[in-house]
Amino acid sequence: GAGVSQSPSNKVTEKGKDVELRCDPISGHTALYWYRQSLGQGLEFLIYFQGNSAPDKSGLPSDRFSAERTGGSVSTLTIQRTQQEDSAVYLCASSSIYRDLTDTQYFGPGTRLTVL
Amino acid sequence: AQRVTQPEKLLSVFKGAPVELKCNYSYSGSPELFWYVQYSRQRLQLLLRHISRESIKGFTADLNKGETSFHLKKPFAQEEDSAMYYCALRGSGSEKLVFGKGMKLTVNP
Residues of B in Cβ contact (< 8 Å) with A109:
43
Tell me the pLDDT band of A101, cut-offs 50, 70 and 90: low
Per-residue pLDDT at A72? 77
Beta bridge partners of B35: B48, B87
The chain A residue lying nearest B93, using CA atoms, is: A101
**What gap in Å lies between CA B6 and CA B22, rounded to an integer?**
6
pLDDT exceeds 90 at position A21: yes
The residue among B95, B96, B27, B86 whose CA lies nearest residue B61 is: B86
Per-residue pLDDT at A100? 54
Q: ∠ CA(B60), CA(B89), CA(A41), 5° rounding?
A: 105
How far does Cα A92 stand from its chain's mean position?
4
Per-residue pLDDT at A52? 82
**What gap in Å lies between CA A8 and CA B58, rounded to an integer?**
35
**What gap in Å lies between CA A9 and CA A111, rounded to an integer?**
5
- A97 or A74: which carries more pLDDT confidence? A74
* Ranges in chain B, pLDDT < 70: none
Per-residue pLDDT at A1? 58
Inter-chain CB proximity B97 and A59 less than 8 Å: no
Per-residue pLDDT at B13? 96
